[in-house]
Amino acid sequence: MGPAEARPLEAGRGGGERDVPGELAALRRRVEEARADLGEERLRERRAELEAEVARPDLWEDQDRAKAVTAELGKVNADLGLLEELGQRLADAEAAGELLEEEPDPQLSAELTESLEELGRRLDELELRSLFRGQYDEGDAIVELHAGAGGTDAQDWCEMLLRMYLRWAERRGFDVEVDEVSPGQEAGILSATFVVKGRFAYGLLQAERGVHRLVRISPFDAQHRRQTSFASVDVTPMVPEDAEVAIDERDLRVDTYRSSGAGGQHVNKTDSAVRITHLPTGIVVSCQNERSQHQNRARAMQILASKLAALAEEQRRAELAALSGPKVDVAWGNQTRNYVLAPYQLVKDLRTGLETGNVEAVLDGDLDRFIEAELRRRRREEGDQEAGRAGS
């Protein structure tokens, strides 16, 4: 799908009439490109193979294999279902366009406008897949938030970011498992770790990695002065449970402590929370929201394995920032995005230049435009680097 045809024309721009035949033709080309990009025929053949395997009575004798087969079948069915939906939407729109050519109908025209825009949006979402080329892009994501410079305001800001990402995940239909939340001294949180589960969760959320800066009138300042606060967002891919990651128990320091916050009566009354430090790398992971110390340790070990696998991948490719990104101070001069609530309303991403005055919507999880812009910027940068290497 070419970037020049990323979106259909908008209705009524500049007072001109909508070019419905032209838009339908452009959408038809995009749907055909989507079928080619996803490999519709190959997907149908693969579905038949997987369905035959699922029908085998001995499949579940190997549970790992059975889970892998059913998971792949789910993805194949989802891709084919999307292509069928796009084809049906296009056919309906083309039929409506033919009817309007024969006899104008304001209600049908309005419905067609809505259908064209929705079809364009669905194709835009599909087009994003071409930006996902990493080994882990299709999988789940581990997200860590940490309050930075700004004291109590920064801790409150960290909690606001947690809500923002939970709302974003909800909007996209992703599941979220919160593993650890450390409350702040007076308000907000010091840190949080959660896993976003869904197809392409890591591919999308990797664009959010960085330092996020908030400017507002502080609700914790008796003189109502403007305060600048910082919080960091780190995103790591969740590697599959069957991935082979060697962890020497002698390299670990395991600490237990009393869980805090809402976690159930049993959790709050026992030292069930677990913090694991991997001594050779300094990586620290925590989990406190499972029902027992054993469960918290198992979860923390899974997250540690993911982080070590990501680190090994970085080292193998000699690109330190590929998966975890460079570590910077969570303070002035290092932010990737600014959120300004006073003296004006503005969210601006400093990497892409994208901005909006609807701060409330962004804080309520409307992040897709920022994520897409950053993913496209990275892809252009990679393309420039590839072209430079080819020309040298």
Arithmetic mean of pLDDT over the chain: 85
Q: In this model, does residue 263 exceed pLDDT 60? A: no
pLDDT for the residue 260? 62
For residue 184, report the phi and psi dihedrals to the nearest 5 degrees: -75, 170
| Token digits of residue 18 | 């909508």
Q: In this model, does residue 204 exceed pLDDT 90? A: yes
pLDDT for the residue 310? 80
| pLDDT tier, 264 (very low <50, low <70, confident <90, very high otherwise) | very low
For the ranges 184-188, 243-247, 320-324, the lowest mean pLDDT is seen at 320-324
pLDDT for the residue 124? 86
Query: Of 109 and 290, which is predicted with more confidence?
Result: 109
| pLDDT tier, 392 (very low <50, low <70, confident <90, very high otherwise) | low
Question: What is the reported pTM?
Answer: 0.74
pLDDT for the residue 367? 97
Spell out the residues 6+ positions from residue 331 whose beta carbon is closer than 8 angstroms to its own.
148, 149, 211, 230
Most confident of 110-124, 253-267, 287-301: 110-124
Query: With pLDDT > 70 as the criterion, what percentage of the chain qualifies?
Result: 84
Q: Give tens-digit pLDDT for 316-349.
A: 654 434 444 555 555 555 689 999 999 999 999 9
Spell out the residues 6+ positions from residue 325 whose beta carbon is closer than 8 angstroms to its own.
209, 210, 234
Q: In this model, does residue 38 exceed pLDDT 80? A: yes
Q: Give tens-digit pLDDT for 69-101.
A: 998 999 999 999 999 999 999 999 999 999 998
Contact (Cβ atoms closer than 8 angstroms) between residue 276 and residue 301 = yes
pLDDT for the residue 308? 87
pLDDT for the residue 197? 95
| pLDDT tier, 121 (very low <50, low <70, confident <90, very high otherwise) | confident
Contact (Cβ atoms closer than 8 angstroms) between residue 137 and residue 313 = no
For residue 15, report the phi and psi dihedrals to the nearest 5 degrees: 80, 0
Tell me how crowded residue 24 is: count the other CB atoms within 10 A of its CB.
Answer: 20
**Where are the alpha helices (H) located in the chain, listed in sequence order?**
20-38, 40-54, 63-102, 106-127, 151-172, 201-205, 265-268, 293-317, 359-363, 368-391
Burial of 147 (0-12, 13-18, 19+ CB in 10 A): buried
| Token digits of residue 170 | 């909800």
**What domains can you pick out in the chain, each with its CATH number?**
3-129 (1.20.58.410), 141-385 (3.30.70.1660)
pLDDT for the residue 222? 87
Contact (Cβ atoms closer than 8 angstroms) between residue 155 and residue 184 = yes
Q: Looking at residues 301-307, what average pLDDT do you find? A: 88
State the helix-helix crossing angle for 20-38 and 63-102, rounded to 10 degrees: 160
Closest to 234 measured CA to CA, from 200, 205, 204? 205
Contact (Cβ atoms closer than 8 angstroms) between residue 173 and residue 197 = no
Q: In this model, does residue 268 exceed pLDDT 70? A: no
pLDDT for the residue 358? 97
